[in-house]
Amino acid sequence: MSSDAQAPTARAIRHNEAAHRFEWTEDGFLSVLDYALDGPVATFTHTGVPAAVGRRGIAGDLVRTGLDTARARGWRVRALCSYVAAFVQRHPEYQDLLD
């Protein structure tokens, strides 16, 4: 497990509930974690971070915020996005959320 496995995100990720996504804008570039909600199940479908702001930990912060939100709201999680699936594999504290 990495040393930041349980560290809270320093970014104030925005939960755009109307668009079903978590968002962060850095240096003018929008990064997102998209999801679909079906009752108590959130299906995380896509994590997108533009290359111009890549390798800064943005994707991890988006996913951590999405998973923390799922836990707080009592959602189960389906990880269709390969990044989300890999993140949960690396951070076992979130594996109990998987549907």
- The reply to whether 2 falls in a domain is no
Q: What is the pLDDT of residue 3?
A: 37
- The reply to whether 1 falls in a domain is no
- The reply to whether 62 falls in a domain is yes
pTM given for the model: 0.91
- The reply to whether 4 falls in a domain is no
- The reply to whether 5 falls in a domain is no
| Domain limits for position 56 | 14-97
Structural domain count, the chain: 1
What's the Cα-to-Cα distance from 89 to each of 2, 45, 75, 84, 85, rounded to whole Å? 12, 16, 18, 9, 6
User: How far apart are alpha carbons 49 and 14 in whole angstroms?
Assistant: 15
CATH number for the domain including 68? 3.40.630.30
pLDDT tens across 30-80, in order? 999 999 999 999 999 999 999 999 999 999 999 999 999 999 999 999 999
